[in-house]
Structures are given as structure tokens and as C-alpha cells.
Structure 1
């Protein structure tokens, strides 16, 4: 085989292909190549190409000399681009992590949406079934005891089968929880008393005044003075409830004051939970706390129900009162199950979102319950009554938004 040697004359000119004379003064800068031949064939190579005589080529490896005096380094091997590889690996890992975060956040959002939907749905059915029972069975204390009893059974099942970890409770913890259980019991009892006297929509319109009691009690017992924004948000709440009360078709004072008492006791529970449960080592999660309060509420209220209303939940008594035993029993059970379910889901949501978000969700829940109860029970609502209810609920929503505004610290 013949081997050819190439020459470069200039980086910007192409050499002529015509034959040249041997005496030409043109200087050729040879390209020195390392031949792929065997060692026996290596040596001085002399060949002619188009009448051009090339000098012998020494044994070098891919070095280039040109007339521009810009030598290039030897190309011995392909350099490894390890930094680029590392960057590509890191970029791929970051992209994978980002995709995992996006999928995880999407799953959490869907889970939170399902919890909010269950919270609203259980609350709607609780109010409907509870109102149906209280319309024909006028013993609100006994109805409240049945709800706590069903909740106690559910908690016992949950702890027995390790569906939720059973806590270890000390005597000091029970003593701290007892005041919370007392006001929790009274709050639910007063709510049932109000639902037995007035329409569901009116009870929940009055219960929209919970922020007012929260601000007053926090200022009295915790020293938390409200901001101007919070005080301003209370004005439409009070005004809207007053307007709705004046125009309410089912209004009576017993239903009004028991709903107000429910606001007072429920917000007292929140204040006590801040004031009493202060030791971190004694703290427990919200679901465990609610479960313990449910059991204690049943123990506290059961003897009171027997003392105040007697044993009025037997089938014999229900039949003697002309009630359908099966229908009352099923609706009472469903109301109790929905009562415990929506309370549990509410605490589950509270563990996942901020108190402000939970408060906004509670405001929306109240709107949903009022509208659904008006539609289901065909409650007569005048335009002014609807306006008052809307103003009160708008005030509650405004309160939940401005609650996050912190007062400016006074400079020394």
C-alpha cells in the first residue's frame, strides 16, 4: 500500500493542483503523522504527488506545524468529561426529586380535598339526622348522651384493634383535661337544645358569632388584645346575626340563648386548651385529646341525663310515645356516627393546615350547612333574613383573614 503525505501552505489559501518545478522556493510544512503501519514499515517516507517531492517524515504523533506558528497539542486520547457527567447526574437527580416533590404535593392536596369534603358531608348529614330526631324526640340531654356513647364505643374499637395508638394517660393529664371535657359537653348539649327549638339554619347563623366570644375571652383570660382589623371584622358578624334574628320565622328565645351558650362554652374550651395544656411533655395530638374528651363527656353527662330526663330511650317508651322505634334508633345512630366522624376529620385537618386555614374552612362549612338545611327542610327565608345571614358569614370570613395580621411591635 502507498502512503500519502499532505501539506498545508496557509490557513487561508488553497495550494495549486498544478505540477511545480523542483527548484521552487515554496516551502512546504509537512504534516507529521504517526503511521498505523507496523514498525517494520515505519521510517523515512518519500513519495511524489502531482510532481511534488516531500521530505522524509520523522516518527511523530499527530503534531501539526503551520505557517501561522500556532502549534496544536498532541491528540493522544479523548479527554474524559467527568465534570459534565457529574453535572448531568446531579441535574437528573434534581429533576427526579422535583418530580417526586410535585407528585407528593399533588397527593397531599388531593388528600386534603377529600378530608374537607368528608368534613362538610358528615356535618350536613349530622345536622339533618339530628334535627329529624329532635323534632319528634324532645330529650336533648339523652340525645347528646347517645352521641357521646357511640363515640366512646368507636374510640374503644379504635384502641382495641390498634387502629390508633392507645395513649398512656397520667392522673395529672386527666385533671388537666377535665375542664376541657366539661365545657365540650356543655357546648354540644346547648347546640342540641338550640337545634330542638329553632331551625338548623338559624342555629348556625347564631353560632357564627363564635369569633366574637373568642376575642372577648382571649382578651379577658389570656391578655391577647385584638387588633383594629379584628375588631372591625366583628361588626358585620354582630350586625348580621342581629338582622337575621329579627327576621327569623322560627325565632324563640330558648333557641337563641342556648345557641349563644354554645358559642360561649365552645370558645371557653379553646381558651382553656391554651391556658391549661402548657407542658410540652404532657402534650398529645388532637385526635387522642378528642377521644379522651369524648369518653369523659359520656361519663359526665350520662348520670345527668338520667336525673333530668329519666330513662326515656327504651323501645317500650318510644312505642308508648307513638314513635317508630326502628326509624328513631337508626337516625339517632347515624347522627351519632356522623357527629363523631366530622369531629375526628376536623382534628385531622387541623393537624395538616394552619389554624387560619382551618377557620376559613369552618366558615365555608357553616355556609354549606345553612344552605343544605334550608333546601332539605324547605325553611322559609325572607330576603332580609338571607341578607343578615350573608353579612354575618362574610364577617366571619373577614375575621379569619385578618386574624393573621399581627400588631406591630412598639419601639423602645
Structure 2
């Protein structure tokens, strides 16, 4: 039976919306899978090779290699990089470098699940920094959602078997730097069509290249370059080749999940992205607990659940506020 002519546009729109939804769903699935794989590979590398600066630099190097290959092959259209582009991207690259380094420092010191529980504090830093530097005053509802986040992290920390101050403060520092990056992004206003403008994917690629250059001197000065078969053997690694493979896979997964995250952000609102990030954190925590068989007490689990529930509530409050502002 042929469709009436008047119904064809509606049918085509429905088909297009379905494809768009499936594509977005596949991006979220890829984001979660790549992030889980990164955390599992990365933790195993840090166990065998406890040098977070070098591990972070390897991840940036792998990402840079993937970026240059994508640009050279035409898989990703290479942007026109000007002095204005570098000026705009450099502050973002600085906080990106520090944020990922601090995350790896925490992952090397405490359980993966605990690092991600602490990183549930990101909304707290977002509200604090936005109020301080952007003049955005949080609503009472937003402030209320911060209470279970802070309380949940405190409860989880008190009973965490792997707790140490080095890992805790590194994760907190990571929260501060990543939320500073978001504030910087708003202040720098990398608008489409403006001087030095980039789409989200190429923005991340340029950040990765600059981060590689920024971290390399510190890596060589502080840790030297010991990630070699001989260096790993000297540290007692049973299978140096396996550790190098894990490091390469962690780097690929790191670049993949961050790239997909930027692709998702280009298609959804920051609030929707934030809610997706909260769900992702739940999945990563669960996967890491199962994979590494970390001991988890009831109080620890309740604290983690409370913090993540607060993050989800924060996303919902921000989304309703956004809808209200759009309606006005």
C-alpha cells in the first residue's frame, strides 16, 4: 500500500528522528564502554608502573598520534590553526593537562571506585567557581542538591578501605581543575565563526596536542622515561610487553571516550551531558568493583549512592531551570 503524499514528510521526519536517536544512543554506549575500558586498563598499568606523569603523557601521545593520523587521512577535517587558536586553547590545555594528571595520581593511589566517588563532587566546584568568576548565583534548589553530594562523599570516605590523603586530595584537585576548564570555556567564548574557532571534536584534538607538549618536559624532568621493557623488568613487572599493551590500549580508550564526550556535547545540552556523565560514573564504579573485587562496606556503598543521587538531582534541577528560562 502506497503512503499518501501528505504523509510522506511526517514519515521521513519520524525516520530521521529515529536514526538520530539511535546514533545518539550509540554515542552514549561508546562513551561508557570506552570509559570503563580506560579505567580498567589504566589501573593495571598504574599498579605495575606507579609513575602517573609518564602514564598521563603516554595517553596524550597516543591521542596525538590518533589526531594526526585522522587529519592526515582526511577522516577528520584538519582545522586552520592560527595564533588566535593557540591563544584560546592554551589555557584549556593547561587545566586539561593538570586535571588528567591529578586523576591518574588518584587512580594510582586508591581504588577506581573511590576516585569516581570523589569526582562526584564536580557539581560543588562548578557552583562555587561559577559564582566566583561568572557571577552566577545558585538557586536554593541547586544548593540543596549539593548537601547529599558532599555528605555522601564524606560517608564513603570514612569507610573506604583504600583511603589515603594523597589519592583523596588528588581527586579533589582534579575536580577543581576540570570545573575551572568549564568556566574558562565560558569566559573564552570559542564561538563558531569567530577568530580561532573550532568545532568540539577539533577543539579536543588541539587540546590533546598542546597537552602533550606541555607535559613532556615535566615528565622527563620528574620521572625520566622508564616505560620501556628494560625499565619495567627492573621494576619487577612479570610481563613488560603486556604492560606496554595495556598502556597503549588505555591511551586509545582515553582518546576515544573524551572525543565521543565532545561529540555528545555538540548534540545535547550541557545539563543532559552532565546527567549522562552521572550515569556513566555509576557504571564505571560498578564495573571496577566487580573487576578488581574491591571490598565495599554497606556504609561505603550508601555514601556513594547518596553522592551520585545528589549529582542526578543536581542535573534535574539545572534542566528544569533551563526549561523555565527558555520559556520566559
How would you bin the TM-score normalised by the shorter chain? over 0.9
| Alpha carbons 2:148, 2:307 under 8 Å: kept | yes
Distance apart, 1:357 and its partner CA = 1.1
Given candidates 82, 88, 100, the residue that maps to 1:188 is: 100
Partner of 1:311: 225
Distance apart, 1:344 and its partner CA = 0.7
Partner of 1:168: 80
1:116-127 superposed matches below 5 A: 116-127=28-39
Looking at structure 2, the residues matched to 213 and 225 of structure 1 have their Cα atoms a distance apart, in angstroms, of 13
Partner of 1:36: none
Looking at structure 2, the residues matched to 341 and 168 of structure 1 have their Cα atoms a distance apart, in angstroms, of 23
Q: What is the total number of aligned residue pairs between the two structures? A: 320
1:1-400 superposed matches below 5 A: 92-277=4-189, 280=192, 281-282=194-195, 283-323=197-237, 324-400=239-315
Deviations 1:345-397 (A, max 9, x none): 11111111111111111000000000010011001000010000000000000
Distance apart, 1:170 and its partner CA = 1.3
Distance apart, 1:127 and its partner CA = 0.3
Provide structure 1 residue ranges, at least 5 long, that are not aligned to the other structure: 1-88
Secondary structure of the structure 2 residue equivalent to 1:163: coil
Secondary structure of the structure 2 residue equivalent to 1:337: helix
TM-score by length of 1: 0.76
Looking at structure 1, the residues matched to 26 and 67 of structure 2 have their Cα atoms a distance apart, in angstroms, of 22
If each structure's helix is expressed as a fraction of its own residues, which one has the higher value? 2
Looking at structure 2, the residues matched to 228 and 278 of structure 1 have their Cα atoms a distance apart, in angstroms, of 31
Secondary structure of the structure 2 residue equivalent to 1:406: helix
Looking at structure 2, the residues matched to 322 and 242 of structure 1 have their Cα atoms a distance apart, in angstroms, of 36
- With 249-258 and 314-323 compared, the bigger mean Cα shift is at 314-323
Distance apart, 1:313 and its partner CA = 1.3
Greater Rg over alpha carbons, structure: 1
Secondary structure of the structure 2 residue equivalent to 1:404: helix
Q: C-alpha root-mean-square deviation of aligned residues, in Å?
A: 1.5
Return the structure number with greater relative CO, CA threshold 8 A, min gap 6. Answer: 2
Deviations 1:8-45 (A, max 9, x none): xxxxxxxxxxxxxxxxxxxxxxxxxxxxxxxxxxxxxx
Runs of 4 or more, structure 1, over 6 Å off, are none
Looking at structure 2, the residues matched to 339 and 141 of structure 1 have their Cα atoms a distance apart, in angstroms, of 15
Looking at structure 2, the residues matched to 169 and 278 of structure 1 have their Cα atoms a distance apart, in angstroms, of 13
TM-score by length of 2: 0.95
| Alpha carbons 2:64, 2:212 under 8 Å: kept | yes
| Alpha carbons 2:190, 2:198 under 8 Å: kept | no
Looking at structure 2, the residues matched to 284 and 310 of structure 1 have their Cα atoms a distance apart, in angstroms, of 34
